[in-house]
């Protein structure tokens, strides 16, 4: 927060709201905020609510038309405030969008838009890529492009296969307040990890489009490896997202692949030392199934797109740098692509 807050304050315009939700921290965050930003609002629930619940609490306090969720270790770069509102001002009609999230003091990409595999595995798109591409930041349109041209090309960055990200990162996520309320905000029971994937898929189910605005840059102090507990949350919440958001036709189409993925992940977890976390995640999903089915019924009741249209935003390639190299082998890639082509054909039929 000591790194992020001064940079954020320098970007705020008159009339902007600053709301800090403190998840029972013990590092002096509350005092620092009150000293550096006395005009801001500090919300202290008195306990660690988790990421999603804390964001929802902050959103309920907000009065502006556009919500921006920013991680406390994501430092805005100069020009961020203007750029992050640009998709709204340009009328791109995105349901939610993210900025370009960098790492290593802005030298490499942390995420330029998330990727979601059809098995629900999700990761940061472009992670590790150098930020400077052809002398400018990835995806920053030349000055001669008009607002209309930027709208048509919105979200497409060098190296991207799609114009629309699979999900938008919660590290720097902008969404109209009305839209956020319509889909019910973040999933609070997730506590940590995958909330942004779940929210993004629910927005897409409701007919919304996602985007990435590379001119809105934040530098993220990010480290993937955080022990078995992270794998437990990731796996538990991956399955919760699948149960909640996948239309029935898609669930049927990917069922064989999900079974094969479970077997492969059990082997990977045993080799990686997080088998206990994987098994704990499975138990928690089974225990939560009655609640997840109720939530699924409500979410699917708001769906406005066909299963095939929803599935088209998912990928067949497991090319995340965080996965075992075997998942990215040519043979497995060919098999996954063939499987996914057949599944999409059935869904579209």
Whether the pLDDT of residue 136 is over 60: the answer is: no
Return d(Cα 339, Cα 322) in angstroms, integer: 23
Band (pLDDT 50/70/90 cuts) for residue 321 is: confident
Percent of the chain with pLDDT over 70: 89
The last residue of a domain, from among 162, 187, 220 = 220
Q: In terms of domains, do 319 and 338 share one? A: yes
Q: In terms of domains, do 101 and 209 share one? A: yes
DSSP assignment of 233-266, as one string?
HHHHHHHHHHHHHS-HHHHHHHHHHHHHHHHHHH
| Residue 93 near residue 211 (C-beta atoms within 8 A) | no
pLDDT in tens, 230-244: 999 999 999 999 999
| Residue 98 near residue 166 (C-beta atoms within 8 A) | no
Q: How large is the average pLDDT for residues 66-74?
A: 94
Q: In terms of domains, do 201 and 251 share one? A: no
Q: In terms of domains, do 207 and 242 share one? A: no
For residue 175, what pLDDT is reported?
A: 98
For residue 319, what pLDDT is reported?
A: 85
pLDDT in tens, 259-314: 999 999 999 899 989 999 999 999 999 999 999 999 999 999 999 999 999 999 99
| Centroid of chain to Cα 266 | 25
For residue 159, what pLDDT is reported?
A: 37
For residue 160, what pLDDT is reported?
A: 38
For residue 225, what pLDDT is reported?
A: 67
Least confident residue range of 172-176, 288-292, 316-320: 316-320
Residues in the chain: 349
For residue 254, what pLDDT is reported?
A: 97
DSSP β-ladder status, 210-220 and 74-76:
antiparallel
Give the single-character DSSP code of 63: -
How far, CA to CA in Å, does 40 sit from each of 37, 228, 286? 5, 36, 42
| Centroid of chain to Cα 176 | 16
Instruction: Pull the structure tokens for residue 225.
Output: 């490896």
Cβ-in-10-Å burial (0-12, 13-18, 19+) of 263 comes to exposed
The last residue of a domain, from among 170, 186, 220 = 220
Q: In terms of domains, do 144 and 274 share one? A: no
Q: In terms of domains, do 241 and 214 share one? A: no
Report how many domains make up the chain: 2
Instruction: Pull the structure tokens for residue 288.
Output: 């939560």
Q: Residue 173 is part of which domain span?
A: 4-220
Band (pLDDT 50/70/90 cuts) for residue 103 is: very high
Q: In terms of domains, do 209 and 124 share one? A: yes
Q: In terms of domains, do 202 and 343 share one? A: no
For residue 163, what pLDDT is reported?
A: 66
Q: In terms of domains, do 203 and 237 share one? A: no
Band (pLDDT 50/70/90 cuts) for residue 170 is: very high
For residue 107, what pLDDT is reported?
A: 92
For residue 25, what pLDDT is reported?
A: 86
Q: In terms of domains, do 331 and 234 share one? A: yes
Count of beta carbons in the 10 Å neighbourhood of residue 91:
10
pLDDT in tens, 16-37: 999 999 998 888 888 888 888 8
pLDDT in tens, 75-92: 999 999 999 999 999 999
Q: In terms of domains, do 276 and 203 share one? A: no
Quote the crossing angle between the two packed helices 330-348 and 248-272, to the nearest 10°.
Answer: 160
The last residue of a domain, from among 185, 220, 255 = 220
Whether the pLDDT of residue 320 is over 90: the answer is: no
Whether the pLDDT of residue 335 is over 50: the answer is: yes
pTM of the model: 0.89
Q: In terms of domains, do 183 and 250 share one? A: no
Residues 6+ apart with CB under 8 A from 34: 40, 42
Least confident residue range of 101-105, 133-137, 179-183, 301-305: 133-137
What CATH number is associated with residue 114?
3.90.550.10
pLDDT in tens, 196-229: 999 999 999 999 999 999 999 999 987 766 688 9
Interior angle at CA 346, CA 342 and CA 348, nearest 5:
115
Q: What is the largest CA-CA distance in the chain?
A: 60
């Amino acid at each position: 927060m000591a790194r992020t807050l001064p940079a954020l304050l320098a970007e705020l315009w008159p009339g902007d709201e600053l709301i800090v939700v403190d998840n029972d921290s013990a590092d002096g965050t509350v005092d620092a905020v009150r000293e550096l930003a006395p005009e801001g609002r500090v919300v202290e629930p008195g306990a660690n609510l988790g990421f999603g619940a804390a964001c929802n609490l902050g959103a309920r306090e907000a009065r502006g038309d556009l919500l921006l969720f920013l991680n406390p270790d994501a430092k805005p770069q100069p020009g961020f405030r203007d750029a992050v509102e640009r998709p709204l001002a340009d009328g791109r009609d995105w349901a939610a969008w993210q900025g370009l999230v960098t790492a290593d003091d802005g030298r490499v990409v942390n995420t330029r838009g998330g990727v979601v595999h059809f098995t629900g595995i999700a990761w940061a798109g472009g992670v590790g890529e150098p930020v400077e591409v052809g002398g400018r930041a990835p995806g920053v349109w030349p000055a001669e492009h008009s607002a209309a041209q930027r709208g048509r090309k919105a979200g497409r960055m060098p190296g991207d296969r799609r114009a629309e990200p699979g999900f938008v990162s919660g590290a720097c996520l902008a969404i109209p307040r009305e839209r956020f309320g319509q889909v019910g905000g973040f999933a609070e029971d997730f506590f940590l990890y995958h909330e942004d994937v779940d929210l993004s898929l629910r927005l897409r189910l409701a007919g919304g489009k996602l985007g990435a605005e590379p001119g809105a840059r934040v530098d993220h102090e990010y480290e993937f490896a955080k022990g078995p507990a992270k794998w437990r949350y990731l796996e538990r919440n991956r399955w919760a997202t699948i149960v909640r958001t996948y239309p029935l036709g898609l669930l049927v189409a990917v069922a064989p692949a999900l079974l094969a993925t479970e077997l492969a992940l059990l082997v990977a977890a045993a080799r990686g030392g997080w088998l206990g976390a994987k098994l704990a995640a499975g138990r928690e999903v089974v225990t939560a199934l009655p609640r997840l089915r109720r939530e699924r019924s409500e979410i699917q009741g708001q769906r406005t797109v066909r299963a095939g249209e929803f599935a088209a935003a998912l990928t067949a390639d497991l090319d995340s740098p965080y996965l075992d190299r075997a998942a990215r082998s040519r043979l497995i890639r060919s098999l996954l692509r063939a499987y996914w082509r057949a599944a999409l054909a059935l869904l579209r039929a």
